[in-house]
Amino acid sequence: MFGSSSAKGGISSLLRSRRVPKAKKRTLVVGLKSDNSSREMLLRLLTSVVMPGDYVLAVHVQQPNDIFDPNTFHRHEDICKSKQVDFHIKVCVGESYISELSNQVRINFATMLAVGCSSPCDKIVGKLLKELPPTCLLLVMDKGGKVLLQKPGTSQEGAPIKVLHSSEPSLSASSGSTESRNKYLIQKSLSMPCSSTSTSSQPTENATFPRTRKYLQHKNTAAKNLFQRLAYLEMICCTRRFTIDELRCATDNFSPNLLTGEGGHSRVYRANLDNGQVAAVKVLKNTQYSEDDLFGEVEILSNLKHENIIQLVGYCYSKDMEAIVYNLLKDSLKQRLKQLNWNTRMQVAIGVARGLEYLHSQTPPIIHRDVKSSNILLSGDCHPQLSDFGAAIVHQQTQQDSAFVKPVHVVGTFGYLAPEYIMYGKVDEKIDVYSYGVVLLELITGKEAIQTDLESHHESLVLWARSILSCGLCDLLVDPDLSGNYNKDEMKTMILAARLCLLHSSSRRPTMKTILRLFEEPEHWLELQRKREELLDGIGLKDESCLCRCYASDSDETMLIEDS
C-alpha cells in the first residue's frame, strides 16, 4: 500500500525542501503518547526537521488511566528557544486519536503531521492519510527518529472549491454573481489554504480576487464579530454599559482636575457615578486596535471574580468614546512601597501571587503580560489587586496565519519583561512569573525595577540583585528603610522565591501555584535548603542529584532545591 520510495530521502530531503524561498513559517503538529519513545521522536524532529520560525504544536490525546505530564519537556523547550521555534503542548480529550490529530491539523492550518510508528504499513498510518488534506504532509518516524514515510494526505474534505469560469471579470457584476462569490469565500474559509497558482485559461482579473475577497470577508466578519461581542456582554448581564453622557457627568466633563493618570494608550479619571459609587474611568485613545483592546479587556474581566483582581464596573462603547470603568482603589504599590512595613509587603506578595495563580488556573489560562508595581493597586488596608488588563490575553495554544489578525508584538514595561518574551515573543504563564519576581525584588529592596541616577543612567534592579546574590551577600538586598524590622525566615523565603521566578530558563521557573506553596509552607522549603547545604558540605556537588531524589516529591520541588 505504501511505497518505500516516499521515505527514501529521509530527513535530508525535508531539509532540502526547506531551502526554497523563505515562505511563511510552517505549522507542524506532532502526535505525542505517554511513552518515552514519543519524547525521543519529538526531540529528533526538533533537532533535524524543524527550522527557525516554525510553530510546533505537540498534541497528546488523553486516554483513560493515562499519565502524561506536559510540564516535563524542559529539554525540548530549550532546543526550541535556541532555534527560535514557537513550541506548545496541548492535551486533548477525545474518543479517537486519529480524528483529534486530523482536527488539530485543520484548525491550525498545519502543513505537516508527525507521528511515531513501528511500521509504515500500520493501520493508523492508512487512516491518518485518509483523514488529512492534501496540503498536509504525513511524516512517520520510528523510535530512533528514522523517517519511515513522507506522504501527503488524501482526504478531499475541506479542500477549496474550484471557481467556475465566468464571463463577469469585475466586482461590478450582478447581485447573483456576488452572492455566489461570497458563498465560495465562506466555504474556503473553512478549508485548508491552497496554492495561488492558476491555469492560463482563467481571466487575468482572477489573480486579484483572493485579496479583494479576503478584504470583503474580513469587513463582514468584523461587523458580525462586533455585534456578537456586544450581544454577549448584554447577555451575561454582569457589567453595565455606560453612555458617554453618563461618564461626562461622572467626571465633570473629563476635568483635568480629576485626571489621576495617563499612559501611552489611555487616560484615567476619577468618577462619581450616579449611584454614589466612586470609580476609575479609563478612556482609551483612538487607535487601530482600541476597539479590540476594549472588548478584550472587558470580556476577560467580566468573567473574573477574585479578591486580588480589579473589579469591572462597566464600559462605554460609542463612535466618540471607548472607555472602561473599574472600582477605584487608593494608590498603587509603586506609590506606597517605601511607606510599607514588612508585614504589609508580605501581604502584598501573597495577594498578588494568589491573583496570578487564579488567572493561570483558568481554562485556557489568562496571561496578564504587564505585571508591575504600578499595576498593583492597594486598598485603604493595603489589600492588593491586579489591574490594567489591556495587554492580557487568553492563551490559546493555536496559531493561524491571517493578514487581518492583530500582529503579535511585545508589550509590557522595560525592566519587568522575561528574556524569552523580549527575544522571541514567546508568551505563556512563565512570563508573568518572571515579572512577579521583579515585583518581589522591589518589595525586598524598596527600589524600582529601573533606577535612574542624576546623570540619567538607567540601572536594572534584576542585574544589580543578581550581582549581589552571586557573591552570597543577600543581606545587602534588604531595604534599609525597614531598619531591621522584619522576620528573617520570611525574608529568606521571599528572596528564594524571587531567585526562582527570575531564572533565565522559563522551563526552570516554578508555577505560581508552587510559589504560593513556598509562601504558605516556608518551614518545609527552608528545611530542605538547610539539609541540602549540610549534605553538600560533606559529599560534594557530584552527589547533589542524589539529594534531590531523596528530598523532592515532585518536579517543582526538585527544581526549588536544585536552583536555590
Q: Collapsing DSSP states into helix, strand and coil, what is residue 457?
A: coil
Which parts of 3-73 are beta strand (E)? 27-32, 55-62
> Which grid coordinates belong to 152?
501527503
Cell 552527589 belongs to residue: 543
Q: Which three cell numbers stand for residue 415?
A: 525592566
Read off φ and ψ for residue 250, nearest 5 degrees. -70, -25
Residue from 54, 293, 370, 388 carrying the catalytic annotation: 370
Tell me whether the omega of the peptide bond preceding residue 364 falls within 30 degrees of 0, making it cis: yes
- Which letter, b or e, does each residue of 551-561 get, where b requires 16 or more Cβ atoms within 10 Å of its Cβ? bbeeebbbbbb
SS3 sequence of 305-372: CCCCECCEEEEEECCCCEEEEEECCCEEHHHHHHHCCHHHHHHHHHHHHHHHHHHHCCCCCEECCCCC
Q: CB–CB of 382/349 below 8 Å?
A: no
Amino acid at 140: V
User: What are the beta bridge partners of residue 233?
Assistant: none
DSSP letters along 488-547, please?
HHHHHHHHHHHHHHT-SSGGGSPPHHHHHHHHHSHHHHHHHHHHHHHHHHHH-GGGHHHH
Residue 381 appears among annotated catalytic residues:
no
* Cβ atoms of 375 and 386 closer than 8 Å: yes
Burial class (CB in 10 A: 0-12, 13-18, 19+), 147: buried
Concatenated DSSP letters of 399-444: ----TTSPPP---S-TTT--HHHHHH---SHHHHHHHHHHHHHHHH
Q: Which residues contact 299 (CB under 8 A, 6 or more apart)?
A: 229, 232, 233
Residue 113 identity: L
- Within 10 Å of residue 87's Cβ, how many Cβ atoms? 24
Copy the grid coordinates of residue 484. Answer: 531591621
Catalytically active residues are 370
